[in-house]
Amino acid sequence: MYGYHRHMKCVMIKYLHPSFRYLWMILAFYLVHPALADGGSGTTSFSFVRIIPGARQAALGGAFSSVGDDVNNMMWNPASLARIQTKQAVVTYSNYVLDIQYGFIGYVHPLRSNQAVGIGIQYLSFGTFQETTPADPTGSQLGTFGADDLAIALSYSRQFGAYLSGGANLKFLYERIQEASMDGIAVDMGLHLSIPSRRLNGAVVLQHAGVVRSGLAGRRDPTPLSIRAGAGYTPAHLPLLILLEIETGRSHKTAGRIGGEFNIRDQVFLRGGYSSTASDLRLERSDSRLTGVTGGIGVQTKSYRLDYAVTPTLRLGTVHRISLTYRFK
């Protein structure tokens, strides 16, 4: 299916008038990424930052804000990073729909006094396309062009007492379509509550509050501001983590998420989830009823954890993610 859509995409670009090639790239961007076209209430810039970064998060339906002690939560809730006791690094790769390539790299470094700093990089590449004009429909003389998105986040988190921690991300955002580009700055701020005696976690996060410094094709749409609240609970005598989350934002309707993670001897993790954000993407009754359902598995050793997630998306295929997390000794 990926190959078919890749072929159709190239055919469409081949015969586009040059004045429309930017429009196609922008349209393709919104079509292939569920988080960017989820029944939103307005157009935003840098919508790629709403892509779920890690495979563990994706398998849980994105209900991850209340999870602590995991470097994968850097882009979702920086407040949780103060719970991390040892240095952690993660690498995520996804061959997105239409052969779009997505990657995430993150690193968290704990400090004294229950503090932590980190850095994360999100990257999205649409690949290379043949540039054509009516005078040169094959593009043999004009060459190629591409489109890329990049976000770099600097994170800080600290604990305030035994139960509460806070944190923030400073994000530098960049998008490029051929020679046209735009950049901006955004901030995430979050709180994380952990009550071990009740086996309960909670979180509140404000994401992507920022400004667009230079627009694309003369437009300066606002950043995809969103607010998220979540909770996690582990029942007594049962190795199961239950996660609930609700989110609303500038670019999308209010959405609910639920996720569950079953722990088998701290070595194997079975995960499943559901996101109403993705389910709103069904364009016709014939669209897959699995849209919004997620699943995955994780395998952990003392230092490494390998996570896999699968996410059905409309008629564009299925997104597969894989993440490798390393805990330094």
The predicted-structure confidence for 16-37, as pLDDT tens digits, reads as follows 344 344 443 444 444 444 343 3
> What pLDDT is attached to residue 220?
79
Q: Which stretches of the chain score pLDDT less than 70?
A: 1-42, 129, 132-143, 215-218, 278-290, 314-316
pLDDT in tens, 223-253: 999 999 999 999 998 999 999 999 998 877 7
Closest to 33 measured CA to CA, from 52, 54, 14: 52
- pLDDT at position 95: 85
Which phi and psi (to 5°) does residue 42 adopt? Answer: -175, 160
pLDDT at 138: 62
**Among 146, 151, 135, 139, residue whose Cα is nearest residue 103:** 151
CB contact burial 126-138 (16+ within 10 A = b; e otherwise): beebbbbeeeeee
pLDDT of residue 210: 92
Other CB atoms within a 10 A radius of the CB of residue 209 amount to 18
Query: Maximum CA pair distance of the chain?
Result: 72
Continuous segment of H or E residues that includes residue 327: strand 318-327
- Among 295, 290, 298, 277, which Cα is nearest to 316's? 290
Cβ neighbors of 94 (< 8 A, separation 6 or more) are 101, 102, 103, 319, 320, 321, 322
- Residue 34 pLDDT: 39
Domains of the chain: 2-327 (2.40.160.40)
Contact between 192 and 205 under an 8 Å Cβ cutoff? The reply is no
- Find out whether 158 and 79 touch, Cβ atoms under 8 Å: no
203/181 Cα distance (integer angstroms):
35
What pLDDT shows up at residue 43? 79
